[in-house]
Structure 1
Amino acid sequence: MITIDVSGVGDERALHLLLMRELGFPEFYGMNWAAFWDAITGLVGIPDQVRFLGWELLADRVPEGSDLLRRALDDYRALYRPQFVAEYA
């Protein structure tokens, strides 16, 4: 399991930078949701469980980005890894 503290994220760019660092995305990561999908489905292996701390703060500050992140991880679980768990605390 990996824990990612998103409580200090104030915009979508900062969210992508944090995800890039914490999930080990390559330096050429495109910092958008299509690139995020490509990264989690083919570029890096992510753990079976990811916990996001400070989710409510992220949802307040970056509502569209937090929604797109959650949807991408839900789709990832449904399409590729039914054992994957994302927690939003």
Structure 2
Amino acid sequence: MTLDLQGVTTKAGLHALFKERLHFPDWYGANWDALFDCIVAIVPMPAELRLINWQEFAAAAPRDMDILRRVVVDYAQEMPGYRIVLG
């Protein structure tokens, strides 16, 4: 599965995209801990989630991009056989 982050420049926008496209529950908290909980234990994830056009988000929200990179690494460790790729 591929998610296009073009035009996403805020943490709120990124979490809204994840919620919509990955079918997170209505009660999703739109924060990094809630994201990790959802992708590890709440919603069925594809074997590979490719995030494309993330550079605009990285430039606009560098701190949040650093956190997203950590989520990618932690996810790979927690979920063998599944991965999130910054493509």
Q: TM-score, normalised by structure 2?
A: 0.89
Q: Within the alignment, does 1:85 sit opposite 2:78 as a pair? A: no
Q: What's the RMSD between the two structures over aligned residues?
A: 1.2
Q: TM-score, normalised by structure 1?
A: 0.87
Residue 36 of structure 1: aligned partner: 35
Q: Please give the residue correspondences for 1:12-31 in structure 2 after superposition, counting only pairs within 5 Å.
A: 12-31=11-30
Residue 58 of structure 2: aligned partner: 59
* Gap runs ≥5 in structure 1: none
CA deviations 1:34-84 (Å, max 9, x no partner) are 1111111211111110111112112111212222122112111112x2222
Deviating beyond 6 angstroms after TM superposition, the runs of 4 or more aligned structure 1 residues are none
CA distance in 2: counterparts of 1:20 and 1:73, whole angstroms: 17
Amino acid at match of 2:82: F
* Gap runs ≥5 in structure 2: none
- Percentage identity across aligned positions? 34
- Aligned residue pairs total 87
